[in-house]
Amino acid sequence: MDSERIRQVTQDALADMIAKLDPGAMLTRYIVLAEVVDAEGRRALWSGSAPDQKTWDTMGLLDYARAVEYAATAKDEAEEE
């Protein structure tokens, strides 16, 4: 599957999900990162972002997501102690 087709399918799915969860909200920027396994068992990493999305927007979204995950991990570890 070509990268433009993947991007369009991803964007359509995200926009549909957002419309269902928050009517009136509009998808403007996004990042998607997924590990996939094909029919032969080969693993691949798929990634994507909005068309014409600026690098600093992508990096900002990634940094924010990483900060959220770090905070959740630290909270989980603190609760285990």
pLDDT digits (tens, 9 = 90+) for 28-70: 999 999 999 999 999 999 888 998 899 999 999 999 999 999 9
Distance separating alpha carbons of residues 12 and 17, to the nearest angstrom: 9
Question: Which pTM value belongs to this model?
Answer: 0.70
User: Kindly report the CA angle at 50 between 63 and 72, in degrees rounded to 5?
Assistant: 30
CA gyration radius for the chain? 16
pLDDT band at 21 (very low <50, low <70, confident <90, very high): very high
Q: Is the pLDDT of residue 16 over 70?
A: yes
Measure Cα distances from 70 to 42, 63, 73, 75 in Å.
Answer: 29, 10, 5, 9
Cα 73 to chain centroid distance, Å, stands at 19
Amino acid at position 6, single letter: I
